[in-house]
Amino acid sequence: MDERRLRIAVIGTSWWSEGFYLPSLRSHPRADVLALCGRNRARAEALAARFGIPAVWTDATALFRAGELDAVIIATPDDTHHALANAALDAGLHTLCEKPLALDVGQAAGMVAKARATGRNHMVLFTNRWYPHIRHLRALLASGGIGRVRHAEFVHHSNFGLRPGYAWRFDAARANGVLADLGAHWIDLARWLVGEIDSVEARLQASVPRRDPDGNPIRAANDIAALQLGFAGGASGQIALSAATPLPPGMALHRIMLAGERGSLLFTARWGEGDPVLRIEGALDGDPTWREWPIPEALWAGVADRNPGSVFRVQSAGPRQFVDDCLAGIASTPDFADGLAAQRVIDAALAADRLGLRMTLAPLP
């Protein structure tokens, strides 16, 4: 029986590390989180004590050089990903990086090249790929029931951009707004479900004035984004994102519409008020009957509460899959190349909004 274990450090002490990464890793029987690194030592020490992590660091580069790790999780603001991932890969560490992979295509392409040169495992956390409802939607597409996709729509409404106080996600000096924060997820999902994106138009809005931690006005990044997409296979599409929709606290609304040659599929979700409401419905194979397509029980394996987020604590998903892949010597997916592909669309959307043009993307190498 294989008894190997993976020695991991987590960089970042945000609510996302606390609520997602650390519980997911703690649930894996062969993952050892040996270090937690954050700028605020007191915060890092409190979090480490809660999760039984033996070491706290405030200097990630020094931690990497210590040579006691196999892998690292980078869960930090967007403007830190490039330097941290490169340092981790230089230290020979398998590297999982939060999305978006980088601030621009140049950074992302360099990260892909370095990851490939080192031969280390690399992953970008595009969470949608592991959710049972998305996996079911993809299986329905793969069955050929709607035929070739002609048009696809992806919509996300949330309200976290309306919270008072400084948020680095909406600081244009540090991040690319909701386009990168949420858009990276939905761009990757569009690629995964429909195919490569080869053109984009965009309208980006910074609807809420922003201030720095001292209360001084700053250049705000977009909190609303609307993209018109062209896919290499001939389909058209839309991605509509808002982090500034007035909704009850914590609520988010999602919608995916896929219209094909022989049928259509519609996914709708409501998150944040009690249990998530998830529904897939549609008409397949030319049948005019519109019906619900329930998520198969097999996709809920081990998820007693039927909360999609629980897959990351019971299945080989996200950080748990990353651990499994590293121990088995299997290349991880989605990887840095997928992160680069999403970044190409983000960069094109920024340029399209700035220039008022439709931007054409060169084919992926």
User: Tens digit of pLDDT for each residue in 117-128?
Assistant: 999 999 999 999
pLDDT at 79: 97
Task: Report the mean per-residue pLDDT for the chain.
Answer: 96
Give the pTM: 0.96
pLDDT at 36: 98
Indicate if the pLDDT at residue 362 is higher than 90.
no
Cβ burial of 337 (10 Å; 0-12, 13-18, 19+) is: buried
The residue-averaged pLDDT of 326-330 equals: 97
pLDDT at 363: 83
pLDDT at 3: 78
pLDDT band at 60 (very low <50, low <70, confident <90, very high): very high
pLDDT at 272: 87
Indicate if the pLDDT at residue 59 is higher than 80.
yes
Of the candidates 237, 292, 335, 324, the residue with the CA atom closest to the CA atom of residue 28: 324
Cβ burial of 325 (10 Å; 0-12, 13-18, 19+) is: buried
Indicate if the pLDDT at residue 7 is higher than 70.
yes
- Measured CA to CA, the distance from residue 308 to residue 233 in angstroms comes to 30
What percentage of the chain reaches a pLDDT higher than 90? 95
Helices (H) and strands (E) in the chain, counts: 12, 15
Query: What are the residue ranges of CATH 3.40.50.720 in the chain?
Result: 6-127+319-335
Gap between the terminal Cα atoms of the chain? 40
The residue-averaged pLDDT of 256-277 equals: 93
Q: H-helix or E-strand containing 337?
A: helix 336-355
Of the candidates 345, 325, 347, 365, the residue with the CA atom closest to the CA atom of residue 96: 325
pLDDT at 138: 98
The residue-averaged pLDDT of 67-90 equals: 97
pLDDT at 2: 65
Query: What are the residue ranges of CATH 3.30.360.10 in the chain?
Result: 128-307+343-359
pLDDT at 274: 76
At the fourth CATH level, which superfamily is domain 6-127+319-335?
NAD(P)-binding Rossmann-like Domain (3.40.50.720)
The residue-averaged pLDDT of 65-82 equals: 96
Write down the residue that tokens 């018109």 correspond to: 228
At the fourth CATH level, which superfamily is domain 128-307+343-359?
Dihydrodipicolinate Reductase; domain 2 (3.30.360.10)
